[in-house]
Chains A and B, each alone.
Chain A
Amino acid sequence: GAVVSQHPSRVICKSGTSVKIECRSLDFQATTMFWYRQFPKKSLMLMATSNEGSKATYEQGVEKDKFLINHASLTLSTLTVTSAHPEDSSFYICSARGNRGRNIQYFGAGTRLSVL
């Protein structure tokens, strides 16, 4: 149980294009999902908290117009990196809060974004 699927696993795009990343909870409903970004050899940095049916809550310093989050259903959240630039290249990981235990988050496999 508590499987989170993230797609795509890797994407390479040209500067200026937009990229959409999907995060699905496969065997449980997730009212809350999270989007993280990880720089090389660094910790996971929370970008935003995605709540089903409402606007996402962004962390300080994260541009909400740059990183669009949609959580239209209890099993799907999407992150769209708009007008991507090379500095947006990173490893993006989503997670969903499960029903087992307090605050346990289950993570997707991550998406490696490379902007040329």
Chain B
Amino acid sequence: DQQVKQNSPSLSVQEGRISILNCDYTNSMFDYFLWYKKYPAEGPTFLISISSIKDKNEDGRFTVFLNKSAKHLSLHIVPSQPGDSAVYFCAASSNTDKLIFGTGTRLQVFP
């Protein structure tokens, strides 16, 4: 049972435009959400997180939106840059240390 889902395996966006990566979850006990970026053969790098008491968190070009009623979160990257090309994982946790990861979305930003 995949508790965290990223239904788009890939996304292609032109440089300068907005990239929107989506993530859905099923477990209503999740109350903390994170986005990680991963390059091939490297470990994930933490990007941004959001607590369930908020619906938006912004850090530079990255903004995460949380819709609890829909059990949906999204990561917006604007403007997108070629260096943003990577696989993006969303992750969720409840009141434990564990992170449950989605299957990832491969973002490609082209010139």
**Which residues from chain B contact A95 at a C-beta distance below 8 Å?**
43
A44 touches B101 (CB 8 A): yes
Q: Is the beta-carbon distance between A106 and B46 smaller than 8 angstroms?
A: yes
Q: A42-B103, A103-B34, A110-B41 are in contact. Are A32 and B97 (CB under 8 A)?
A: yes
* Shortest Cβ gap from B25 to chain A (Å): 13
Q: Which residues of B contact A46 (CB under 8 A)?
A: 98-100
- State whether B104 touches A104 (Cβ < 8 A): no
* Distance (whole angstroms) from the CB of B71 to the closest CB of chain A: 18
Can you list, as one digit per residue, whether each of B4-17 has a CB less than 8 Å from chain A (1) or not (0)?
00000000000000
CB within 8 Å for A4 and B43 given contacts A43-B103, A43-B104, A102-B32: yes
Task: Find A101's partner among B36, B49, B98 (CB 8 Å cutoff).
Answer: B49
Chain B, residues 82-93, CB within 8 Å of chain A (1/0): the string is: 000000010001
How many residue-residue contacts, CB under 8 A, span A and B? 54
* CB neighbours of A103 from chain B (8 A): 32, 34, 49, 93, 97, 99
Q: How many residues of B contact A (CB 8 A)?
A: 21
User: Are A104 and B42 in contact, with the CB atoms below 8 A?
Assistant: no
Dominant secondary structure at the A interface: strand
Residues from chain B with Cβ under 8 Å of A105 in the complex: 46, 99
* A110 to B, closest residue via Cβ: B43
Which residues from 34 to 59 on chain B have a C-beta closer than 8 Å to any C-beta of chain A? 34, 36, 41-46, 49, 51
- B41 in contact with A44 (CB, 8 Å): no
Q: Please name all residues of chain B whose beta carbon is closer than 8 Å to the beta carbon of A58 when the two chains form the complex.
A: none
How far does the Cβ of A41 sit from chain B's closest Cβ, in whole Å?
Answer: 8
Q: Check A49–B98 contact: CB distance below 8 A.
A: yes
With a cutoff of 8 Å between Cβ atoms, the chain A residues found around residue B45 in the complex are: 107
Residues on B with C-beta less than 8 A from A13 are: none
Considering the chains assembled together, what is the distance between the CA atoms of A103 and B102 in angstroms? 16
Nearest 10 CB-CB pairings of A with B: A107-B43, A43-B103, A44-B101, A103-B93, A43-B101, A107-B44, A110-B43, A109-B43, A93-B43, A108-B43
9 A-B Cβ contacts within 8 A? A43-B103, A44-B44, A93-B43, A94-B43, A95-B43, A102-B51, A103-B99, A104-B46, A110-B41
